[in-house]
Amino acid sequence: MKENYDVIIVGTGAAGLYCALNLPSRMKVLMLTKQQADQSDSFLAQGGICMLRGEEDYNDYFEDTMRAGHYENDAKAVELMIRSSNSIIRDLLQRNVTFERTETGELDFTREGAHSQPRILFYEDITGKQITQTLLNQALTRDNIEICEYMTMVDIISKDNVCGGVIVMDEKNEVYPVRAPYVVLACGGLGGLYKNSTNFPHIAGDGLGIAMKHQVVLEHLDYIQIHPTTLYSHKPGRRFLISESVRGEGALLYDKNGQRFTNELQPRDLLSQAIFAQMEKDGTDFVWEDMRPLGEETIMKHFPNIFHRCVEEGFDPRKEPIPVVPAQHYFMGGIKVDLGSRTSMKGLYACGETSCNGVHGKNRLASNSLLESLVFARRAADDIIFGRKPDPCRPGTIDLKPYEDRAAVLTVYHEMVLNEIERMKKSHE
């Protein structure tokens, strides 16, 4: 790792990698991640990635997204995402990302909750891994992209609202300033702040706290999505997602008596509410999800990863329902950005789950996350290439002593985020 780069990207998920790959080879890019490069939530995405199915699908796709978001979405951002979807998918195919095909070789589509028709491309039940691993493999071949693992961002360098780099700590607790005229925060959501979450525990909103410290504008920190169906387990740690696609393909939800109690294809927030209400009524810690209506062939072909994980927990979804419970899953708020992924600080960008561009509104429509991440990561790259270069940031001498206790520094950021979430919740009561 050197002291100076053209661009620093914090995070190695789909957004960070796609931003890096859309930058020209003449730019020296540093990518930082707290763990291994493949330990981002993008690798965990199961369901798929949405794509506009022709002009006749536009109004329905737009309305599905807006309805799921309770019409709090930014309509221009939604339009940009949908209109960009076909070029994003073409680019992924050119990068050798694999999606499921029909018997005639056409792209196959599945449907998920709150979608009016099938418009979701997928690869088994590990679509996120298929896309993100392909992008990571390409980034590793690029001479201009340097990826540093086990490197924690503990602050950004700024002066007079101009960003000039980041302060990082390595796994030996050594602290370094690294400078660049452009910094892209693509460091994920805040699931690590919750006991029950589908996210990796180290993804805990660090970037949000750092942005707050520097008075960068944030928005809707209390817009936190609960996924209605994660596999119930007594074991501690990350909760395993039972994909929206399972219900989209026909799985049913039962109460403690084996009776259906709700519409399985509602938006995630409404379905989660229905499940919580049924659990309270039944006095149970979970409800049952029945995959048997899908048939064994669909279960084994479309959802092999889910099948094997259920078997590990002692359930055979081909023969019996599985216990599921809602858990924290996704973050719709974040660092406020415009359509170019620019934040309120010059030279600082944000994309992916750590940003808030308004696409998702109050509740994300299933399988819009990967598409949104890629669209706005490319927008960030385009603005870095073609936009106006910010004035140089000259902060002078940087005191690194305040950052030497990693746990204490991160705890402060996490508490800032949690306190702001609670403040926002109370203001809406």
Instruction: Please give the distance of CA 193 from its chain centroid, rounded to a whole number.
Output: 15
Q: What is the pTM of this model?
A: 0.93
The pLDDT score that the predictor gives to residue 290 is 98
What type of residue sits at position 173? N
The pLDDT score that the predictor gives to residue 113 is 85
Q: Which of 221, 205, 185 is nearest to 352 (CA)?
A: 185
Phi first, then psi, for residue 297 (nearest 5°) are -60, -45
CA distances from 67 to 176, 270, 271, 360, 361 (A): 46, 12, 14, 10, 9
Please give the positions annotated as active site: 268
Q: Give DSSP secondary structure letters for 211-239.
A: HHHTT--EE-TT-EEEEEEEE--SS-SPP
CATH of 7-223+332-428, one of 3.40.50.970, 3.40.50.2300, 3.20.20.80, 3.50.50.60: 3.50.50.60
Q: Which residues of the chain have pLDDT under 50?
A: none
Q: Find out if CATH 3.90.700.10 is the number for domain 227-328.
A: yes
Instruction: Tell me the pairing of strands 49-50 and 120-121.
Output: antiparallel
Phi first, then psi, for residue 289 (nearest 5°) are -115, 125
Contacts of 259 (CB under 8 A, 6+ apart): none
The pLDDT score that the predictor gives to residue 300 is 96
Kindly report the CA angle at 341 between 58 and 218, in degrees rounded to 5? 105
Common-topology check for domains 7-223+332-428 and 227-328: no
Distance CA 254, CA 389 (A): 56
Bridge partners (DSSP) of residue 162 are 159, 346
pLDDT in tens, 210-239: 999 999 999 999 999 999 999 999 887 789
Distance CA 412, CA 155 (A): 12
Return the number of other C-beta atoms located less than 10 Å from residue 10's C-beta.
Answer: 27
Q: Where are the domains of the chain?
A: 7-223+332-428, 227-328
Tokens of 41: 């939530």
Q: What percent of the chain has pLDDT over 70?
A: 100
Residues in the chain: 429
The pLDDT score that the predictor gives to residue 188 is 97
Distance CA 57, CA 283 (A): 42
Q: Give DSSP secondary structure letters for 128-195.
A: HHHHHHHHHHHHHH-TTEEEE-S-EEEEEEEETTEEEEEEEE-TT--EEEEE-SEEEE-----GGGSS
Distance CA 45, CA 400 (A): 37
Q: Which of 15, 418, 427, 423 is nearest to 190 (CA)?
A: 418
The pLDDT score that the predictor gives to residue 426 is 86
CB-hemisphere CA count at 13 Å for 31? 29
SS3 of 4-61: the string is ECCEEEECCCHHHHHHHHCCCCCCCEEEECCCCCCCCHHHHCCCCEECCCCHHHHHHH
pLDDT in tens, 36-87: 999 999 999 988 999 999 999 999 999 999 999 999 999 999 999 999 999 9
